[in-house]
Chain A
Amino acid sequence: MGTLVDINNVRKVYKRDAFEVPVLNGVTLAVPQGDFLALMGPSGSGKTTLLNLMAGIDRPTGGSIFVDGKEISRFSETQLASWRSRHVGFIFQMYNLIPVLNAFENVELPLLLTKLSKKERREHVQAALDIVGLGDRAFHYPRQLSGGQEQRVAIARAIVTDPTLLVADEPTGDLDAKNAEETLDLLQKLNADFAKTIVMVTHDPKAAQRAKHTLHLEKGLLVEGAYGMETAAHA
């Protein structure tokens, strides 16, 4: 399989008032197409920052990031927004559904940015909800759903545009064990049955075990990796 995400010597420094806080210190990583990768590490290790960078919602201080052959680290904000709408699906710890929209309308949101007709959008949304097993809850509002169901709606929203890459930041962090298992089952299904490339940040070793590969970060560096990648620390 080819490489989908290619990260080369990426550094990220946050500025806090007069101070500079280095978060990533030269990470090099290649994620193959169709992989299910778990990123682990202690708080502040830079795993969410790395996820944000490969998803195009943050920009590196140095280095380059290629996704599906495109160097997104050189994109403008507008180009990034357009690119994200077509290529990235997001799954958040707190689901982040829009509370004033029902499940159907939440899942439809990314499609509003496309040229699909209303009928086509409806078909796509229904298909996505069916995949996550919530076809019968389409017109329920987030407050009428359980945490697990909300997360499944969020997953449907993430896959409805058939993105190249799914990024999940602690997708089971707010769920009980049963719902966490169901969510991980769903992610595995998306990876196995639909060949979706998934990068997941997690603290939970059990969740990480469901991934094909696991990488660990510490102090902004990859310290061990399933791919045996070189990192700045190991170079």
Chain B
Amino acid sequence: MKFAKLIRRNLFRNKLRTILTMMLLAVIFFFVATLLAILDNFENFSNAGEGANRLVVQSAISLANLLPYAHEQKIRAIPGVVDTAKLQWIGAYYKEKSNFFANFAVDVDKFPTVFDDYKVSPQDLAAFQADRRGALVGVDLMKRFNWKVGDRITLKRQIFPFDPELTIRGTYVHPVQTTSVFFPMEYFQQSIGNQGQVGTFWVKVADPKQMAAISQQIDAMFKNSDFPTETFTEKEFQQNFMSMMGNVKLLFTAVSTCAIFMVVLLAAITMSMSARERVTEIAVLKAIGFEQRLVLAIMLSEFVLLTVIGGAIGSYGAHFLFIAVDAGKMTQGFLQNLGVHAKTLTICMATAVGIGLVAGGFPAVRASNLRVVDGLRRVV
């Protein structure tokens, strides 16, 4: 493009101001990209069981209240239910609290049917099911701690009064949940001496269209019992789990919007100053034949380039940072596999272009509408 040099030179005409503005944009976009990545992470977590046709049955009172084993037989008898498995969140950690990850006690014999989206080799599954203290570990967690199959690990208690001592018997692969540990329900129940009660039943349903009806049927069945239930789809359950932290999505969106609005105002000030300083030059360009729309295009290109460079530094900076740094470790396991992915980068870059157009639009239009004689009057 013939005018690229003019645009580039004008962009860096006041280097300090341009660099400071870019740094400001970079910091804001780093912040926004990180918030969006966290929301994305939560969303992935919520969608982890999508398509798996699973319902989660918990106590109607709260997730912390347990349900009796006896419920399971009745649930399994409902037409359309393929199978059920007991699952208990343990909440233990490895060595230090910063090494936190999801760990569950589960019915090992039901694992392959109810959790059929977790891919496990037949050998690993057999070894896992055969060992009362065997553990099945997500591949990313294996990498994180350099574990190997056969390693013995001890998790430390946080909720229940026992420290699970486990032997890794196999690994699993899953599109989202790649950092969890499963071990036998029997070991957990015997260790805490609380046989007969569990936190959740996971229900595999044959037909996804029947999920709503079966869900209602389960809750109706236990409505008047001592242990009423509340049944969710897996996605609802995960979302409820996340909502225990409050309306994070609304909070993050509000904070991001405020940050973007602030950067629009600051960019608009910078761009207005830049345009005002060049009134005479713009008049000269128009005098020698640059049409209004060409002047507008050149100025907008310059302003958009400014915001795009700043936005790219910030959002790609976040992208590469989360590749290089284990956010899971930094957040004590809270944010596993955090990453600024293509979708977030696209949103950030589109927002950067938008900020350039919005913040630079007014000064660019004003400059391009300038009458040549008015612009030259300062010096002629």
Contacts and interface: CB of A to CB of B under 8 A. Distances in A.
A90 to B, nearest CB: 5
B5 A105 contact: yes
Interface stretch (B114-122, B234-242, B278-286, B337-345): B278-286
A81 B292 contact: yes
A232 interface: no
Interface stretch (A24-32, A91-99, A129-137): A91-99
A133 B85 CA distance: 91
B145 interface: no
Secondary structure of the A contact surface, majority rule: helix
B292 A90 contact: no
B2 A96 contact: no
A78 B6 CA distance: 22
Given A52-B373, A81-B290, A92-B379, A109 B285 contact: yes
B289 A96 contact: no
Nearest to B378: A94
A162 B275 CA distance: 30
Given A98-B284, A112-B2, A78 B291 contact: yes
A82 interface: yes
Given A58-B373, A96-B280, A77 B3 contact: no
A98 B281 contact: yes
Q: Chain B, interface size: which category?
A: 20 to 34
A82 B289 contact: yes
A21 interface: no
B281 A96 contact: yes
A84 interface: yes
Nearest to B289: A85
Contacts of B373: 52, 57-58
A12 B376 CA distance: 18
B82 interface: no
Interface residues of A, number: 29
A78 to B, nearest CB: 6
Interface in A38-83: 48, 52, 55, 57-58, 77-78, 81-82
B288 interface: yes
A100 B380 contact: no
B288 A85 contact: yes
B289 A84 contact: yes
Contacts of A90: 284, 287-288
Contact of A169 (B10, B286, B291, B380): B380
B25 to A, nearest CB: 21
Given A82-B291, A112-B3, A100 B285 contact: no
Interface in A123-170: 157, 169-170
Contacts of A81: 286, 289-292
A77 B290 CA distance: 11
Nearest to A79: B291
A229 interface: no
A225 interface: no
Given A99-B13, A101-B6, A101-B9, A92 B289 contact: no
B35 to A, nearest CB: 37
A84 B292 CA distance: 13
Interface of A: 48, 52, 55, 57-58, 77-78, 81-82, 84-86, 90, 92-94, 96, 98-101, 105, 109-110, 112-113, 157, 169-170
Listed from nearest, the 7 A-B pairs whose CB atoms lie closest are A85-B289, A100-B9, A94-B379, A57-B372, A81-B291, A96-B284, A112-B2
Given A101-B9, A105-B6, A109-B6, 15 more contacts: A48-B380, A57-B287, A81-B286, A81-B290, A81-B292, A84-B289, A92-B284, A94-B280, A94-B379, A96-B284, A98-B6, A98-B285, A100-B10, A109-B288, A157-B288
7 contacts: A57-B286, A77-B292, A81-B286, A84-B288, A94-B380, A112-B2, A113-B289
